Structures are given as structure tokens and as C-alpha cells.
């Protein structure tokens, strides 16, 4: 009997089988179900998404490990698709980072990424970021690698140095992180395909491109990014932003017009919802239980 893959093993399998691997953001378990159903091979939980969606807070390092773990458990319990999780700066020193990795594995994550910003972090596409020294980031990566209880668990080192110090400094950090135990590199706020090419040619590990809307990086196509050497393409909050705009339109319409007739076309139907949830399978089991009880 073949050994079942861990979440980390499933992430590595998806990475090996897709060039590039598209990783879509899912801020809740239901969005994860939809992403899995339509065929996505990997999903993502954004730290900013947890702060915004689950707590109504800005992405400024205000959430904790346990806040993120709650959403990891909910998503990983609903789907088999491997989940990449944003752990910000790791939530503390070396022992904290190692514990974070252990807890992420227990909660069902297949991969994490950790960044080189200071603890009081900002969104990677905002100005005035501050990054820690190369040595401190290397120590963070070593602590993460030491905390790994599954050899297949995938650790990605994110560097914000490109925007702060330029390409060469970012590449130097990436190389040092790989030597320290990182399995992949997340180059944040890169501006051009040529920069991605230079980055990928300089490192011996899969490179992730963060293609987030309204940020510093253009919305490159996955084929363009693959040609530039990117093995992973991340869409961290695309569905979240679309859902937010639709929700706002519904709230405003109900308030101004007194009903929702004009915005019904924005909505998923009841039957579409039931289909994604396999509602009728559950209902049939319930009907069978009631019928069995009546026949006793």
C-alpha cells in the first residue's frame, strides 16, 4: 500500500507537476472548496487576509500565531489541496519560529513563507518598510528549518530587500537563506520580468512571484513568469478583493433601494452553493437516518 503524502509532500508534488504552480488566495474554508473544485493545485492563506477578513485589522503585524492557526485548521480540514501559509516574521525569536513551524504542520499546512522585515511589519507593497540584517534573517530560516517535523514541509524565505536595497542585495539574501535551509525564495515587489530572470538565474531554488493587484509588480501572465524562471505564481487576495466589492454593492443597494433585486446577478445561487458543499449528499444521509428511525 502506497504511503499517503503529507501536506508538505502534496505541495512538493504540485510544484513538480506544474510550471509554474499557480497558488490562489483563500481567506476561508468555503473559498478553498471552490478553488479546489475548479482545479487549482495549491492555495494560500495571506497574513494580511487573516488580519483583514477574520479580524477587521490592517496588515501591520497585529495578529498572532494562534489567530492564523485558527484559519489554517479550518481550511486544511475542508480540502486536500496543499496550503501555503504566510507566517509574517515568525512571531518572535528562534524558539518561537521553530514552534510556529511545528504548529503549522500540526494544523495541516503544507508550506510557509517567512519574511525579513522587522517585527513591526508592513504590507510588502507599501513604502517605509524596514528589514532586519542578513544575519538575522539567516537565523530565522535556520530556526524554521530546525522546527520541521516533516521533511517534506516546504519553507519559503521571503525577502523585501529588492525594494529597499536593490537586486544584488536581494539575491545575496536569497542565496544565504537557501544555504540556511530554505526550499524556495519569495522575491517581493519585483518590477520587471528581467529582474525575475536575473533573480532566478542567480539562485538554486524555486522562485515565487507575488502577483498582487494594485501593487508594485505588474500583472504578468503565468507564461511570461515561467519564461522568466518563476516556478510559483501567487495571487494572494484576488478573490477576496472581488468578494469585497460585490458585498459592498449589495449592502449599498439594499440600503438605498430597499431590496436586492438589482444585485441578484452578483450572487452565487442557492443551488451553486449547495453543489460546492455537497449539501444534497448530507441531506440524503439525514433522510436515511430519519427513515431508519421510523422503521424501528
3-state secondary structure 79-103: CCCCEEEECCCCCCCHHHHHHHHHH
Binding site membership: which residues?
46-48, 86, 88, 123-124, 158, 188, 210-212, 241, 270
Q: Where are the beta strands (DSSP E) in 167-284?
A: 184-187, 207-210, 232-235
- Angstrom distance (rounded) from CA 191 to CA 217: 5
> Which secondary structure element, helix H or strand E, spans residue 166, and what is its range?
none
The whole-chain average pLDDT of the chain stands at: 93
Binding site membership for Mg(2+): which residues?
86, 88
Catalytic (active site) residue 274: no
Residue 235 has pLDDT above 60, yes or no: yes
**The C-alpha cell that represents 95 in the structure block:** 524558539
CATH number of the domain located at residue range(s) 7-239 in this protein: 3.20.20.60
Catalytic (active site) residue 259: no
What b/e string do you get for 106-127 counting C-beta neighbours within 10 Å, with b at 16 or more?
ebbbbbbbbbbbeeebbbbbee
Split at pLDDT 50, 70, 90, the class of 227 is very high
**Model pTM greater than 0.75?**
yes
> Which secondary structure element, helix H or strand E, spans residue 3, and what is its range?
none
Catalytic (active site) residue 59: yes
Catalytic residue among 123, 140, 173, 183: 123
What residue spans in the chain does CATH classification 3.20.20.60 cover? 7-239
pLDDT digits (tens, 9 = 90+) for 180-189: 999 999 998 8
- Angstrom distance (rounded) from CA 268 to CA 119: 39
pLDDT digits (tens, 9 = 90+) for 22-44: 999 999 999 999 999 999 999 99
The DSSP secondary-structure symbol of 134 reads H
pLDDT digits (tens, 9 = 90+) for 123-164: 555 555 678 889 999 999 999 999 999 999 999 999 988 877
Catalytic (active site) residue 210: yes
Amino acid at each position: 500500500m502506497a504511503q499517503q503524502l503529507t501536506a508538505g509532500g502534496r505541495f512538493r508534488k504540485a510544484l513538480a507537476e506544474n510550471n509554474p504552480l499557480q497558488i490562489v488566495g483563500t481567506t476561508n474554508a468555503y473559498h478553498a472548496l471552490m478553488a479546489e473544485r475548479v482545479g487549482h493545485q495549491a492555495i494560500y492563506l495571506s497574513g494580511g487576509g487573516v488580519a483583514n477578513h477574520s479580524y477587521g485589522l490592517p496588515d501591520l503585524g497585529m495578529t498572532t500565531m494562534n489567530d492564523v492557526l485558527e484559519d489554517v485548521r479550518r481550511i486544511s480540514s475542508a480540502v486536500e489541496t496543499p496550503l501555503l501559509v504566510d507566517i509574517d516574521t515568525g512571531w518572535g525569536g528562534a524558539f518561537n519560529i521553530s514552534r510556529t513551524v511545528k504548529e503549522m504542520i500540526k494544523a495541516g499546512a503544507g508550506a510557509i513563507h517567512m519574511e525579513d522585515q522587522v517585527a513591526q511589519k508592513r504590507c510588502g507593497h507599501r513604502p517605509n518598510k524596514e528589514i532586519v540584517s542578513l544575519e538575522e534573517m539567516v537565523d530565522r530560516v535556520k530556526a524554521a528549518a530546525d522546527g520541521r517535523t516533516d521533511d517534506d514541509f516546504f519553507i519559503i524565505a521571503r525577502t523585501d530587500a529588492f525594494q529597499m536595497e536593490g537586486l544584488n542585495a536581494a539575491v545575496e539574501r536569497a542565496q544565504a537563506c537557501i544555504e540556511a535551509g530554505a526550499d524556495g525564495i519569495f522575491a517581493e515587489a519585483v518590477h520587471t520580468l528581467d529582474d525575475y530572470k536575473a533573480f532566478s538565474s542567480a539562485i538554486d531554488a524555486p522562485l515565487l512571484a507575488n502577483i498582487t493587484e494594485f501593487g508594485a509588480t505588474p500583472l504578468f501572465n503565468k507564461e511570461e513568469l515561467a519564461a522568466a524562471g518563476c516556478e510559483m505564481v501567487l495571487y494572494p487576495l484576488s478573490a477576496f478583493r472581488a468578494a469585497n466589492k460585490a458585498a459592498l454593492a449589495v449592502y449599498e443597494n439594499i440600503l438605498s433601494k430597499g431590496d436586492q433585486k438589482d444585485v441578484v446577478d452578483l450572487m452565487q445561487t442557492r443551488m451553486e452553493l449547495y453543489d460546492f458543499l455537497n449539501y444534497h449528499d448530507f441531506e440524503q444521509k439525514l433522510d436515511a437516518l430519519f427513515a431508519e428511525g421510523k422503521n424501528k
